[in-house]
Amino acid sequence: MLTKQRTCYNKLFQWTAKYAATEFYRYKYKEINMPTISMFFGIVVSLYFIDNRKHKRPHIHVKYQDSEAVISIPNGELLDGELPPAKMRLVLAWIEIHKDELMADWDLAASGQQPFKIDPLR
């Protein structure tokens, strides 16, 4: 009985350690490959490094609560996902204000360099 119990605890420990290592890797990988460039009103704006294969044009990744969206930088077109309309208007206003900085950050991220932080909407 004691041996069976130890075996169960060992398996549980191994699974827990493996799961923790996997989650840590995912967290670090996401932090390294998708830096946050701005946050305002609960909205988080990020850029992926070398992210020009899927959408093939400059874009940002935006998260708000459970919503996620991919938005084109030059024209504010929604490429993927969705955001609540009020938050989408805030993001579009922010893009319009910081378009030059966003394009400079896109060029940096597309070449694998760290993009700069951009001031939030106030």
Average pLDDT of every residue of the chain: 80
Cβ contact 47:106 at 8 Å = yes
Which pair of tokens denotes residue 69?
Answer: 């969206």
Element (H or E) spanning 23, and its range? helix 2-33
Q: What's the pLDDT tens digit per position in 56-98?
A: 789 999 999 999 999 999 999 999 999 999 999 999 999 999 9
